[in-house]
Structure 1
Amino acid sequence: MSDAVQPTAAEVRAAAEAVKTALDRHLAAVERRSGEDDPAVYEAFNQLAAAAETYDELLYDRYDEVTPFEIPGAEDALPPYTGPEEPNALSVLIRRDYAVVEPQRLLAQAERIEAADDEGAEAAGTVHGALGVLFGEFEPDEIASRHKEFGLEEGDSTLWVTAADESAEPGEWLEMPFEGIDPQRVVCRFDVSAVFDDEIGEVGDETDDVDDLEDDLDTELDEDEDLEPLDVDR
């Protein structure tokens, strides 16, 4: 970096002080938190992340040094909430992904639904038609709880609760239901992903490896007539 745009020592010092202040604010917010999803804690977290990132950049530009700190998810975090303190209306945005893993099961379920309706429709003859029959018959929550019956496999899902000053007019947003959502009005969100399961599975794999090692040890000792049997705690 050229000297012309290099930050001054005073700017680096000011950024360090900003990190200290953000740390104090974050701790104070945590100590006063009103629940698991307290927006004040979330906002303090984002402010701390921004201050730490700024300090890290200036420190590197001025002294060619970096900090050992990394705040996970700071880049993907939602911005601080700026919506009404007492929302008069809300919208719940839900996305659930599925994979069609057993098309024949899906088609069979759709055919049974059409047969019960006794209307002579033939939409269930194709996968996309069967999906239309399925989601036309059952609520999304019921499909989520019975997805295996319908030949589906769950993927990631997310639910966002957003605040509004007043309810939308009937039919106002139906053509583009997810357009124009303000991230700063998201009250809370809940995510479900296979990524979390994979992380848990990695720990389980280590346990399986230990069990396999113990089994191998038992086998080797049993085959050696000169050694006494060894009890291994499970």
Structure 2
Amino acid sequence: MSDAAQPTAAEVRAAAEAVKAALDRHLTAVENRTGEDDPAVYEAFNALAVAAEAYDERLYDRYDEVTPFEIPGADDALPPYAGPEEPNALSVLIRRDYAVVEPRRLIAQAQRVSDVEAADGAGNGTGRGAGASTHTALGVLFGEYEPDEIASRHKEFGLEEGDSTLWVCATDELPEAGEWLAAPFEADAQRVICRFDVSAVFDEDDLGEELDELRR
């Protein structure tokens, strides 16, 4: 990089001040969070990430120095958004990974659901033999409970949480009923409005739950 293209010392200083201000905003948002998924915390996180990256770049360009900051997911950032500015419809894609750590507990819970249905006369045959295998038990439990309830009660079902991600994608219009059921998980990364990731990787770095990419 030529000297003419280098940031000035004042620009580096301004970038450092922006990081300090972003840190204050992030801490304030965390202190006043209204819930686990408070959007103000995610927005403050994203602003802090942007400010830290800008400072790091200017510091390197001017002084050939780097910071110890590392933003998880920066290498996997989504491509530029190319969807409509005012989406008429949305697709919300969620992936949650689990390890089956207590198969006996899982099977017992599924059998309990099957027994209650049989006692109430509400069974439709899907829960029959729920205690026969982990495969059958999973079908019973995920057929009985909503995914969010499985997530909140996973330990009761003998499961251990892995990574999870949620993508909100813009669509031009709501698809016809049944149109995408044969291939439900295809996503155009350029139409992702926002993305939220949860991973033990972030916890190990004391970063907690992270907003990987937020566009406006």
- Pairwise same-fold verdict (TM > 0.5): yes
How many percent of aligned residue pairs carry the same amino acid?
60
Task: Judge conservation of contact 2:91–2:170 (CA < 8 Å) in 1.
Answer: yes
Query: Which protein has the larger Cα radius of gyration, Structure 1 or Structure 2?
Result: 1
**TM-score calculated relative to the size of structure 1:** 0.58
The amino acid of 1:92's aligned partner reads V
**Greater relative CO (CA pairs within 8 A, separation 6+):** 2
CA pair 172-16 structure 1, distance change in 2 beyond 3 A: farther
Q: Distance in 1 between matches of 2:117 and 2:147?
A: 20
Query: 1:124–1:133: 8 Å Cα contact kept in structure 2?
Result: no
CA distance, structure 2, for counterparts of residue 184 and residue 102 of structure 1: 39
Q: Does 1:142 find its partner at 2:149? A: yes
Partner amino acid for 1:178?
F
CA distance in 2, matches of 1:17, 1:175: 53
* Post-superposition offset of 1:99: 0.8
Structure 2: 5+ residue stretches without partners:
23-39, 208-216
TM-superposed CA distance for 1:196, in Å, is 2.1
Deviations 1:43-87 (A, max 9, x none): x88x97xxx6xxx9xx9xxxxxx9434774432111222211110
The aligned amino acid for 1:85 is E
Deviations 1:153-210 (A, max 9, x none): 111111110111111121111111112x111211111111111222239xxxxxxxxx
Q: 2:2 matched to which residue of 1?
A: 13
Aligned residues of 2:107 and 2:130 also touching (Cα < 8 A)? no
Which consecutive unaligned segments of at least 5 residues does structure 1 have?
1-11, 60-65, 202-234
Indicate the residue corresponding to 1:230 in structure 2. Answer: none
**Equivalents in 2 of 1:14, 1:117: separation in Å?**
75
Equivalent residue for 1:93? 93
Q: What is the alpha-carbon root mean square deviation over aligned residues?
A: 4.0
Output the CA distance in 1 between the equivalents of 2:105 and 2:131: 11
Matched residues, number = 171
Aligned to 1:186: 192
1:195 aligned residue: 201
TM-score, with length taken from structure 2: 0.63
